[in-house]
Structure 1
Amino acid sequence: MNIPKHQVQELVAGCINNNRSAQEALYKLFYADMLRVCHSYLPDKELAKEAFNNGFLKVFQSIKNFDSEKGELGGWIRKIMVFTSIDLCRKELKFVSLTVVGQEHDDDFFIPAKVLENLYYEDILAKIRTLPFATQTVFNLYEIDGFSHKEIAEQLNISEGTSRWHLAEAKRKLRTLLNTPNPGNGSSERSDKAI
């Protein structure tokens, strides 16, 4: 999201001064995108909303630490939302730690272009949500948010090997799911939501 620098500075300054209209403007500006981020980690809508609200509370409490020279406001808020969602994941759900010794996985699965052409955001999200919870979380952190296996291991309190296993497992399962036709979700019905 490209927000003019002067608008970012005004919003941040207003939020630092506890200006309710600035806080409301910031909240509305990032509402849809950040709720989507939380929802990608927490399939339960109520948990996603809880993470979103907790995340925005953290944003308002630490907005004085935001430095526009080090990055974009949206990226800074997104990182807070991701970490808040992960914290809630850890609180609500247990991860199964798997020890995988000497097992190599091919991280580069091929998905034919014709399959991808017929997929939409909701379809992809629905397929990701069919993965076991720990596997889908590792997939989101690695593929969507760009975390390294070391960072994922630290955040989820698992080993790097377990993180790699979950990513390979997610790709293997998604490959199968993406190559399986989904009856009733024809592309002609939903052409307005294409990726």
Structure 2
Amino acid sequence: MNLFVKQSSRLIKGCKANDRSAQEGLYKQFYAEMLRICYRYLKTDDLASEALNTGFLKVFSHINEFDEVKGELGAWIRTIMIRTCIDLSRKELKFSSISNYTDDLESVFVEPTILSKLYAEDLLKSIRKLPEASKLVFNLSVLDGYSHREIAGQLNISESTSRWHLSEAKKLLRAMLTRSTNKMYPPTDNNKAT
């Protein structure tokens, strides 16, 4: 058993015993990773902080339900954070029903040269600028690996609506990223005489 697993096991036992120092240790151990998740899903820093705190409150309230044999602590906490972000997002957004949507994935291709010029922080800022519904579907699908069926079930929308929001998010991101890289690296005119 490695050191991280031993430490996590000790923190879980302490949290189950309602030990404040164990709760603080668990919070510190997962704070940065969970805050990044909340930033991805929510538009404002205030909402992200609210989701983080609400999520950790749920973790501590339900820690007795966690079974180390069935799963990894970080994955369990991550699931709670994602669901908390979804709950907060639901309060603010309304999904419109889109029927008979067909994928148009070729039109949302982002050139690798664009991606190689971006930093993770720039990408996160662009994702946070997406409309709420599209951002939520994009995060669930692309970053967290949920299927359209799972997303539809969690958000009470149709699978075609989920696909539409994903496609829309990719189109908007492509436009934002292209503008961003063109500002940083203006196109050069190779035809000009030097």
Q: Write the distance in 2 (CA, Å) between the matches of 1:90 and 1:112.
A: 33
Residue of structure 1 equivalent to 2:18:
18
Contact 2:141–2:147, Cα closer than 8 Å, also in 1: yes
Contact 2:102–2:160, Cα closer than 8 Å, also in 1: no
The two structures have a TM-score, normalised by structure 2, of 0.87
Contact 2:41–2:128, Cα closer than 8 Å, also in 1: no
Residues 93-112 of structure 1 aligned to structure 2 (within 5 Å): 93-101=92-100, 103-107=101-105, 109-112=108-111
Q: CA deviation at 1:132?
A: 1.1
Q: Write the distance in 1 (CA, Å) between the matches of 2:65 and 2:30.
A: 18
Deviation string 1:49-105 (CA, Å, 9 cap, x unpaired) is 1111110011001111112222211111010000011111112x122313232x322
Contact 1:100–1:165, Cα closer than 8 Å, also in 2: no
Larger Rg: 2
Residue of structure 2 equivalent to 1:4:
4
Residue of structure 1 equivalent to 2:169:
170
Percent identical pairs in the alignment equals: 52
Contact 2:133–2:165, Cα closer than 8 Å, also in 1: yes
Distance 1:148 1:123, change over 3 A: same
Residues 112-151 of structure 1 aligned to structure 2 (within 5 Å): 112-151=111-150
The one-letter code sitting in structure 2 at the alignment partner of 1:96 is F
Residue of structure 1 equivalent to 2:192:
none
Deviation string 1:111-130 (CA, Å, 9 cap, x unpaired) is 22221111111111121122
Residue of structure 1 equivalent to 2:189:
none
Residue of structure 1 equivalent to 2:30:
30
Q: Write the distance in 1 (CA, Å) between the matches of 2:32 and 2:132.
A: 23
Of the structure 1 ranges 34-43 and 2-11, higher mean CA displacement relative to structure 2 is found in 2-11
Residue of structure 2 equivalent to 1:57:
57
Q: Write the distance in 1 (CA, Å) between the matches of 2:3 and 2:110.
A: 35
Q: Write the distance in 2 (CA, Å) between the matches of 1:94 and 1:119.
A: 29
Which stretches in structure 1 are left out of the alignment for 5+ residues? 187-195
RMSD of equivalent CA atoms:
1.9
Q: CA deviation at 1:185?
A: 5.2
Secondary structure, aligned partner of 1:180: helix
Q: Write the distance in 2 (CA, Å) between the matches of 1:150 and 1:128.
A: 22
Residue of structure 2 equivalent to 1:191:
none
The one-letter code sitting in structure 2 at the alignment partner of 1:107 is L
Q: Write the distance in 2 (CA, Å) between the matches of 1:37 and 1:80.
A: 11
Q: Write the distance in 2 (CA, Å) between the matches of 1:104 and 1:127.
A: 25
Contact 2:98–2:160, Cα closer than 8 Å, also in 1: yes
Distance 1:168 1:184, change over 3 A: closer
The one-letter code sitting in structure 2 at the alignment partner of 1:130 is K
The one-letter code sitting in structure 2 at the alignment partner of 1:175 is R
Q: Write the distance in 1 (CA, Å) between the matches of 2:111 and 2:183.
A: 21
Contact 2:118–2:181, Cα closer than 8 Å, also in 1: no
The two structures have a TM-score, normalised by structure 1, of 0.86
